[in-house]
Amino acid sequence: MKETVGRGRWASKAGFVLAAAGSAVGLGNLWKFPYMAGENGGAVFVLVYLLILVLIGMTVMLAELTVGRHTQLDALGAYKKLSAKWAWVGGMGVLCAFLIMAFYTVVGGWAIKYFIGSFASAAANIDFVGFITAPVEPIIYTLIFCLLTWVIVFYGIGGGIEKASKIMMPLLFIFIIIIAIRSCTLPGAGAGLDYYLNPDLSKINGGVILAAMGQVFFSLSLGMGCMITYGSYLDRNSSLTQSAWMIPALDTGVAFLAGLAIFPAVFAFGMQPDAGPGLMFGILPQVFAQMPAGTFFAAIFFLLVIFAALTSAISLLEVVTAYFVDEKAIKRSGASIIGILGIFILAVPCSLSMGSLAGVHIIPEIAAMNIPAMGFFDAFDFLTSKVMLPLGGLLLCIFVGWVWGTDNAINEITDGGFSSFSLAGIWSVLVKFVAPIAIFLVFLSGFGVI
């Protein structure tokens, strides 16, 4: 996205929505949402997710886009411009981007392995656990994923990627629908639908709510300045309010369909829904095996997964690169190299933590706070999704609500009263009170304090 970071503009409104949706829709929807739901009670997780999406997710999305469009700067610069004391919150976002990329590129690598694997024989024949616990092979795939991401950012071909996503994203949508139909019509699928859609409210607890909140932030690319950066490329006659509900709606649609593709099959094949990060990789190849031209479907599907993962990964590397360019005055080429190198160095222990480093815990168990012992992969995931992103969102709400002020924000949203924002009053209350307090309470209950 060289042309946009040179303080460009989105060529069209669709270009922005596509890029922002490209950042949002990724492994978070296809890989993470289903396994998080599976680990947290199924339908009850989906229900809590939707509640948090509407109350907090959309509120924060609008706040981030607004700060971005107003300041026309990257995350750190935006905070700095409005209040120098707050620049560190933008800095935390950059750190977040590093940590997310460290495990994101590992999973991106797994997707490449499955794509290639579906040509070689059938993806269903890949021994998932054997593969991810191996010392060398997954790291090679991680490296390939890193290089792909870097090439796109380095050569500034984000624009081309955006154009390609006009074809790839709808194709992904259609594919998941086809897979979901196959999955839902397998014998024994009903139990999966029940698990996924019929909430058992007795399963709600602090851990489930924190997991759902973290997933909302992760999936919408919120809480770390990504949407501030994207908003900064918008010009004045773009509708912020429309984007703030359209991107979440699209994102949630894809995540919901991914669950619909996975859970019925999980139950039909007598597998466990709480299998964790291997869920998508373990289940979908089995579904493809039940389809005519399954190998062909599998190959195209994993290609689309890689594509979705790349459009998210470039937005993450972009945050890191823009930081080095804007704040450290490093040339874009050098900045993107430093960024991806740092990310790859962190990704290696993440990948190894699946196998040879499995016993090395960088976060020790803190039973009183519901924190299990974690290796690199899980620790980075935990620190970003369950701590840093929601914290970034909480701080952003306080910042917009109380420091910059909702009057200024609403002025930006309505172009100085020129366009209408009928929910302005409700949004103010959400930003100033409801969202920050809710995030705070979820932290307290998730960490066992209340």
Binding to ligand PHE by residue 436, rule CB under 6 A?
Answer: no
Q: Closest separation between CB of residue 343 and ligand PHE, Å?
A: 13
Q: Is 29 in the site for ligand PHE (CB under 6 A)?
A: yes
**β-pair partners for 374:** 363
Report the alpha-carbon distance of residue 326 to residue 5 in Å, rounded.
10
- The packing angle between helices 240-268 and 206-219, to 10°, is 120
CB 384 within 8 A of CB 97: no
Asked if 350 and 103 count as a contact pair (C-beta separation under 8 A), the reply is yes
Q: In this chain, which stretch among 69-77, 258-266, 309-317, 398-406 interacts with ligand PHE, using CB under 6 A?
A: 309-317
- Positive/negative CA dihedral, 122, 125, 130, 133: positive
What is the DSSP code string of 182-248? HHHTSTTTHHHHHHHHS--GGG--HHHHHHHHHHHHHHTT-SSSHHHHHHHT--TTS-HHHHHHHHH
Among 183, 219, 241, 336, binds ligand PHE (CB under 6 A): 219
Cα torsion through 113, 115, 121, 123, rounded to 10: 80
Closer Cβ to ligand PHE, 24 or 172, answer by number: 24
Which one among 218, 307, 377, 443 touches ligand PHE, defined by CB under 6 A?
A: 218
Is 57 in contact with 439 (CB distance < 8 Å)?
A: no
For 52, the enclosing helix (H) or strand (E) is: helix 43-52
Neighbours of 408 (CB within 10 A): 15
Residues 86-115 that bind ligand PHE (CB under 6 A): 100
349 is an interface residue for ligand PHE by CB under 6 A: no
Contact 23, 226 (CB under 8 A): yes
Of 6-14, 49-57, 206-214, 308-316: span binding ligand PHE (CB under 6 A): 308-316
Q: How far is the CB of 366 from ligand PHE (least distance, A)?
A: 25
Q: Give residue number: closest CB to ligand PHE.
A: 28
Task: Choose one: 56-64, 178-186, 218-226, 336-344; the region binding ligand PHE (CB under 6 A).
Answer: 218-226
Identify residue 264 by its one-letter amino acid code: P
232-291 residues in contact with ligand PHE (CB under 6 A) are none
Q: How far is the CB of 26 from ligand PHE (least distance, A)?
A: 2
Taking CB under 6 A as the criterion, the residue among 15, 26, 34, 41 binding ligand PHE is 26
Tell whether residue 221 is a contact of ligand PHE (CB under 6 A).
Answer: yes
Member of 43, 44, 123, 226 binding ligand PHE (CB under 6 A): 226
Six token digits for residue 406 = 């909702």
Contact, 67 vs 80, CB < 8 A?
no
Pick 312 or 353: Cβ nearer ligand PHE: 312
Q: Using the minimum distance from each CB to ligand PHE, give the nearer residue, 76 or 226.
A: 226
Region binding ligand PHE by CB under 6 A among candidate stretches 38-46, 141-149, 219-227, 275-283: 219-227
Q: Which residues pair with 366 in a beta bridge?
A: 371
Judged by beta carbon, residue 66 or residue 406, the one nearer ligand PHE is: 66
Min CB(255)–ligand PHE separation in Å:
8
- Check binding of 23 to ligand PHE (CB under 6 A): yes
Angstrom CA distances, 397 to 62, 146, 168, 216, stand at: 10, 33, 34, 16
Interacting residue with ligand PHE among 1, 17, 21, 27 (CB under 6 A): 27
| Residues at the site binding ligand PHE, with contacts judged by CB under 6 A | 23-24, 26-29, 100, 218-219, 221, 224, 226, 312, 315-316
